[in-house]
Amino acid sequence: MKKPEISGNTIRVPSDQAFLPNVDDFLETALREYGADESVIADIAISVSELVNNAMMHGNKASPDKMVSVTVSLARKTATVTVDDEGYGFTPDTIQDPLADENLLKEVGRGIFIVRSLMDKVDINATDKGTSVSITKAI
Amino acid sequence: MKLTDQERDGIVILEPRGKIMGGPDASLLHDKLYECIESDKKRIVIDLARVDWMNSTGLGILISSFTTLRNNEGVLKLANVTDKIHSLLTITKLVTVFEAFDSVDEAIGSFK
Residue-by-residue DSSP string for B34-98: HHHHHTT--EEEEE-TTEEEE-HHHHHHHHHHHHHHHHTT-EEEEES--HHHHHHHHHTTGGGTS
- How far is the C-alpha of B10 from the C-alpha of B42, rounded, in Å? 9
B28, B51, B57: best to mutate for the A interface, most A CBs within 10 A: B57
CATH fold of A5-138: Heat Shock Protein 90 (3.30.565)
Domain containing residue B7: CATH number: 3.30.750.24
Show residues of chain B in contact with A46, CB under 8 Å: 53-55, 88
In chain B, which stretches have pLDDT less than 50? none
Whether A93 shows a pLDDT value over 70: the answer reads no
Domain range for residue B83?
A: 2-109
pLDDT tens-digit profile of A23-44?
999 999 999 999 999 999 999 9
Going from N- to C-terminal start, the domains of chain A cover 5-138
pLDDT tens-digit profile of B62-79?
999 899 899 989 999 999
Tally of domains in chain B: 1
Model ipTM? 0.92
pLDDT tens-digit profile of A10-27?
999 999 999 999 999 999
Out of A45, A49, A99, the one facing B93 most closely (by C-beta) is A99
